[in-house]
Amino acid sequence: MPETNAVQESIRSMIDLDGATAIFATSFGYFDPHVLALAKDFPEVQFFHCGGLYQEGVHPENVGSYFGYIDEAQYVAGVVAAHASTSKRLGFIAAKPIPQVLRNVNSFTLGARSIDPSATTQVIFTGDWADPVREAEAANSMADQGIDVLTCHVDSPKVVIETAERRGIFATGYHANQAELAPQGYLTGAEWDWSNVYKNYVSLLQGGKTLMNGGIPHLVRGGFKDGFLKLSPFGPAVSAQAQQAAETAQAQLISGELVIYKGEIKDNKGKTVIAGGKELGQTAIELEQMNWLAEGVMGSVG
């Protein structure tokens, strides 16, 4: 987590010296304490945090939160991964076991297991958002174990994708399109498209809308349907069957026909975490508080 004084002094400078009236904090760890503390000191300034979970009646009214359901794209990537894998052993290299990351790991695995229920995902948490050495070690270790598709949730997927290509295995990307890094083995990827999010905020702010007057929602979320994310183009190793399955899953996520977290779902310790017949749609707060790994995931959150 960034140093409290440095972060807060930087934001104070933007407000006091530059006259900023809207602050967008986009790093993990900025929401609490930084955004919440400064929002109380500057009630006339609007603070928007990427990923923080705004709670009505608990947090200041000049605080907002926005994020995307990128796990929808990870689910579809899992569908493609299962089609490409011959070992049915997938690998996920992740930074920290926080809810957004766990949701990606679980959705990727659930997507894969929708194609082959025997598919498993080995997850390794590096402990940091950017640790190229540990990312390379994890990727090589997985390849040595016979895992033949890798994906990740780290700040820069470059090391993971390039290592997979060098080892002759497949990869699905994250954040943006990494196809150029793995021209043979890149299958697809879960990409953000922040342009719609920020354009909408700017339009609302220009129109005089605020968090305080109710013109801007405190909690903004969106998925494929809302244009918050997209899939990387399919790589040369993706079969026609896999592409059709992926496109079908994506269309069903957009229409609402497909609910990723539909019970019964067990965690990887055998405990039922979503009861049979129960559905947690993408807006369910429970998913933003996720602290478990799904059945089929090899690893631990603690």
What is the residue type of 100? Q
Q: Determine which of 2-11, 34-43, 272-281 has the lowest per-residue pLDDT on average.
A: 2-11
Do 44 and 87 fall within a single domain?
no
pLDDT in tens, 8-50: 999 999 999 999 999 999 988 899 999 999 999 999 999 999 9
**Bridge-based pairing state of the strands 297-298 and 89-94:** unpaired
What integer pLDDT is reported at residue 1 of this predicted model?
43
| pTM strictly above 0.85 | yes
Do 35 and 124 fall within a single domain?
no
As for how many domains the chain has, the answer is: 2
**Bridge-based pairing state of the strands 170-175 and 89-94:** unpaired
Do 173 and 119 fall within a single domain?
yes
What is the residue type of 5? N
pLDDT in tens, 46-78: 999 999 889 999 999 999 999 999 999 999 999
Q: Is residue 215 part of a domain?
A: yes
> Under DSSP, is residue 248 helix (H, G, I), strand (E, B) or coil?
helix
DSSP conformation class of 267 = B
Residues facing 192 on adjacent strands: 229
Q: Is residue 272 part of a domain?
A: no
Do 63 and 199 fall within a single domain?
yes
Residue 144: give its domain's CATH number: 3.40.50.2300
* Dihedral over Cα of 279, 123, 75, 287: its sign: positive
What integer pLDDT is reported at residue 27 of this predicted model?
86
Q: How many CB atoms lie within 10 A of CB 254?
A: 14
Q: 202: domain range?
A: 4-67+194-222
Q: Is residue 140 part of a domain?
A: yes
**How far apart are the C-alpha atoms of 82 and 74, rounded to whole Å?**
12
Do 166 and 246 fall within a single domain?
yes
Q: Is residue 39 part of a domain?
A: yes
The kind and range of the H/E element at 192 are: strand 186-192
Do 134 and 28 fall within a single domain?
no
Average pLDDT over residues 121-145: 97
Do 136 and 166 fall within a single domain?
yes
